[in-house]
Amino acid sequence: MTRIAQGFAESAMRDDGHVYMSVVPYSQNVNVYDAKRPNRPRNWARADALKPEELEDWNFFDETGIKDLASPDTPDALGKRFCPLRGLNLGENYFWDHAPAGHFYISYWVWEKSAVPPGYDFPWKDWFSKPRPTNDDFGCDEKTRQEAINLGQEDCKRSDEELDFFREIKTMIANKGCPATPVLPLQNRLEDITSELILLKKQHIFYKGLTAGNLNFGFALGWGAMTLAPAFRGSDGWGGDPQVPRDFDSGNGEHQKAIVMLMKTEMDSFFSDSDASTAVPGNISATTDHTPNDMPKRYKALCDSLRASGHRIRVFLLVAGGQSENLGLSNTKSFDEGGRKGFQFCAEKPSDISSYNSDAFNDVEGAMTSRLGEIAGELKQRGSFVRLMQ
């Protein structure tokens, strides 16, 4: 995928600086960490997202000494990850065209201690999630203890270390559903795009055989739109050029915006945007509409918002996939039923969604490369009549 993406970038970029391109790596979520902007998590987070009630109930902050989820010593921050979420209910469309400041929940990943595999060397933090029990909890109050001692029986009192054995241990790890490679906001130099794709190729979304969660295509498309949204420009957004992203086209054809999305999935077991990863972190009940039956509805709502008057973002989807082995998942759908049914509303014309069915990517790479060349040509042709393309 990175190879054909590089070819597309080389075809689409121009030397006059009028073409801007962003790169949005995705897996279960999208990483917007930026070492040059260490305050981004605090600036973008909602006030109630910094200390989720779930983590408070588990004594995470008291036991670990970590101030809140925007602190630089969280496992995600140490792993150079920041995967925020917002607008998760049907029709909210991730609020992709809203300014980011003070608007996001912060995702995190907590495992039971026993679930952390040996040799797992992502940043992580153990803590006792429940208070230490007392000897009284085990029927060993002072009276009972003295009676046992007087009868020459074993002292029932346990040391603090022994009592800790009965405490529940949880582990927060650097979010394995959050890609190691962060988003590259809009750039107009091919060298910057190339550097990002090289980094992406080196940083796989698998770690020691563990997948990085279910691929979430809704998040990917939503974040792609956020890299094009004028609400994200300036120091409170992506930073960089304060005029980028530019305004949406006002109808005079002055410039255009487009998303080209590459997808790889099992065509008969499409499972995306329909699990706990789409819920408010620490409060699944606060989020609705994330069942497999809701997938096409969510995609349709997002697509409608991208093509709405005042936005007019052109969307191209290239979907590569084969038939899966038996995954044992009863709540999956085929791509046509769960994905295309909603994504079709992103398309300006039927050819804007292209499918390539094969179990081996090498078998379809040539056809996908050719299609990307056609898309680059079409955008360039339109671009010859406009001042700016993003």
59-113: pLDDT as tens digits: 999 999 999 999 999 999 999 999 999 998 888 999 999 999 999 999 998 876 6
Average pLDDT over residues 379-383: 74
| pLDDT beyond 80 at 179 | yes
pLDDT at 206: 43
Give me the residue label for tokens 């990085």: 212
Domain boundaries, the chain: 2-33+90-95+177-389, 132-166
pLDDT at 77: 96
Q: Which residue has the higher pLDDT, 269 or 216?
A: 216
Those residues with Cβ within 8 angstroms of residue 299's Cβ, 6 or more apart along the chain or in another chain: 217, 218, 221, 273, 339, 341, 342, 343, 345, 346
User: What's the whole-number average pLDDT of the chain?
Assistant: 82
pLDDT at 239: 93
pLDDT at 389: 47
**Per-residue pLDDT band at 268 (split at 50, 70, 90):** low
In contact, 331 and 274? CB cutoff 8 Å: yes
pLDDT at 212: 54
pLDDT at 209: 40
pLDDT at 333: 64
| pLDDT beyond 50 at 169 | yes
| pLDDT beyond 60 at 225 | yes
| pLDDT beyond 70 at 120 | no
Q: Per CATH, the architecture of 2-33+90-95+177-389 is what? A: 3-Layer(aba) Sandwich (3.40)
pLDDT at 370: 92
